[in-house]
Chain A
């Protein structure tokens, strides 16, 4: 690649991460907080260029909530394989980290880092919108690094 154009080009590309949300059996508390962060005017994420995309094939940042329930493992693997590279994976909530209050249940298979490579995790049950915004900002920094690597 043209060496001198790489830095401004990678900065321009990093200004447009699109988000796809995947729910692997969560109680919806974290999804409600995500809807507040991504859509409401109060915590506007579109000033960073983030757009909620409807299809997994348009996604750059994958947001996963919920412990991996056994019933949806197949579907989750299939959807995750359709997300094109380069991508950044973020988990929201306590359930993807350890299963939280559902730890010894027969129906779940935590943690998510066992199934997918996770980059950023936001703890809390549910995490407050500011913590999720923090997570988005960290994800965008990692996304910039991955884009710069891809341009090589």
Chain B
């Protein structure tokens, strides 16, 4: 008979917090796994009373939502944590932010609203901003126009099983070109589909339709994630939780 852990089961989850955080600067080179390890250690250092799974190798209750790819910065990454002791969300935000490296910032922390549904259901698209150093607006604009005029743009994507052809066009619901200090900027809204269409794939599509070849690596930033609405933009996924909190204020403990 296998050993079982002695003692009582771990305390249950009494509160769920939803957190928006940013990865910036050098840490855009962190992978999702790198960030997950860093966040879990920061939660320990910040002494956030995490709820743990049962068994011999208890894991803190954290779920991550669609992580930005390695190399991309983001202002809108989301995760949800389960706590074993109720805490003031703002106190958790401050403590966690202080325990993280400078280039990871905790922007928002709200309590999951009762009956508001899952966070994952509130996210189906990303708003991207891609800086293209060495590319001018005059070069980018026709490429974006050609891309938008196409129904399908097939690009080769590296996956676990080797190169695979995907359509980079259908997932892009809007795209536009702009200029900032002589550097072309691509703004776009991309639906989260499987297999994922990432900024790199859209850039490969611009090469395919208009032979746009940026001389330097592009810098992509995910500016927002959320549910695509009728106006073509994305809604704040923490909105329903905020609304629930305003309508039902409760007593809170602090950490």
Q: Bound pair: A and B?
A: no
Q: Which residues of A contact B (CB under 8 A)?
A: none
